[in-house]
Amino acid sequence: MSGAWLSIVGIGGDGLAGLGETARAMIAQAEVLVGDARTLDLVSGNDRLRLTLPDPPSAILPDLAARRGTSVCVIAPGDPLLHGIGSLVVNQFPRAELRIVPSPSAYALACARLGWPRDQIECLNFHGRDPEGINAYLYPKGRFLVLTSDGSAARRIARALTERGFGPSRITVLEDMGGPNDRQITGTALNWSVDRTSEFNTVAIECVAGRDALILSRAPGLPDQAYRHEGWVMRREVRAVSLAALSPLPGQLLWDLGSGGGSIAIEWLRVAPRGRAIAVEPNAARADLIDKNAIALGTPELEVVAEPPSQCLARLVDRSGMLPNAIFIGGGLADPGLVEACWSYLAGRGRLVANAESVEEERVLLDQQNRLGGDIVRLTVARAVAENGRSAWQAQVPVTQWVAVKQ
């Protein structure tokens, strides 16, 4: 490719021997080789300049840019665009400057070893992320392939499965696939006894629900009992409507202000691939519960800020490096200037959703609708409650909801 100076080559555990002619030529012709220590060792015997990836890998990008015009080859495991440095590079440099040759991904290798059809399983990437994120995906008879970057990941996944009642699930760890130390370790989550595996591993899971398994859909409106909340959690019916109004989309950022038990932020992350969320809850005890709920429900990446919303909005922008695409106000609505500040920080086409349960908060919503437009609805919920051998409707406190979209 004319003008291409930066190559990205995927490599398997068998090193140069498993590469095609084109990939071997890219490595042989490069003046600079870039990769983690493991992948660079797979092409040992080469005396060119080697750059070991720092932590985080993104810190290498300015150095690569400074070498424009030099022949550089980035070496990554398997399919280099699946995660990690390959994805960072293609997002940083023009396509005309790149040449890319992949090897089979860990997913492809694992499917071949297990005899699993790729279209019948879920492929998850917890590379550099907490493996407790598996809790967002569990369901009976589900099959998952999980990429990890930590030898303790299988143990942590086994513990998470057991705590959710999926202890009978079968776990297979595929270590160092394609290399000389290629092996498999198999057991059940409940009886998993291997403390650490190879750092280079893929975890296969065949879900089996025990009698006490907590089975949850990824649709908004999880049962109230799915949360630790001590009374500070939004009712599931109102929560489902609120999430629909927020309209989660992949890669977008939510601010959940006055988060209570964290339910809005957690369910945003469960349904929005690559989504981000910051839960702001001034009560320290409730903020601690949000952390626990986030881990139990598979969103350990949720950021929690234990401050009053009105005091930290500017720092939230600095913390995330971007404006929010959606803001939910579940508490602090009557704080002077909060709605105005939220509106100013909201990204273009962003959605602001606010719920009110008191007359005073409802007045705020009506005033804001007059100023900014949007729609107001009243949500009323009644649940049948058994008492004295008969059932009666028990009305919940009505909720007034304002939804506005910033143009």
Residue 45: predicted pLDDT: 66
Q: Is the pLDDT of residue 187 over 90?
A: yes
Query: What average pLDDT does range 26-39 have in this prediction?
Result: 93
The phi and psi torsions of 140 (rounded to 5 degrees) equal -60, 135
DSSP secondary structure of 230-255: TT-S--HHHHHHHHHHH---TT-EEE
Cα angle value 147/304/327 (rounded, 5°)? 100
Convert the pLDDT of each residue in 53-110 to its tens digit: 998 899 999 999 999 999 999 999 999 998 889 999 999 999 999 999 999 999 999 9
Tell me if the pTM is above 0.85. yes
Give the CA angle between residues 351, 252, 326 to the nearest 5°: 20
Q: Rounded distance, CA 146 to CA 205, Å?
A: 8
> For the residues 143-162, what does the mean pLDDT come to?
95
Residue listed under structure tokens 């709920």: 293
Pairing of strands 170-175, 183-188: antiparallel
Is residue 337 over pLDDT 70? Answer: yes
* Identity of the amino acid at 9: V
For residue 101, give Cα distances in angstroms to 8, 72, 107, 278: 6, 14, 17, 37
Q: Is the per-residue pLDDT at 1 higher than 80?
A: no
Q: Is the pLDDT of residue 296 over 60?
A: yes
Tokens representing 135 are: 């809790």
The mean pLDDT value for 266-280 works out to 97
To the nearest 10 degrees (0 to 180), the angle between helices 263-271 and 284-296 is 30
* pLDDT band with cut points at 50, 70 and 90 for residue 145: very high
Tokens representing residue 361 in the block: 């908060």
What integer is the mean pLDDT of 373-396? 93
- DSSP for 10-53, written as a single string: EE-TTGGGGS-HHHHHHHHH-SEEEE-HHHHHTT-S--SEEEE-
User: Helices 236-246 and 263-271 meet at what angle, rounded to 10?
Assistant: 50
Q: Select from 270, 310, 283 the least CA-distant residue to 229.
A: 283
Domains of the chain: 6-103 (3.40.1010.10), 107-206 (3.30.950.10), 224-405 (3.40.50.150)
Average pLDDT over residues 9-22: 93
Cis-peptide into 56, omega within 30 deg? yes
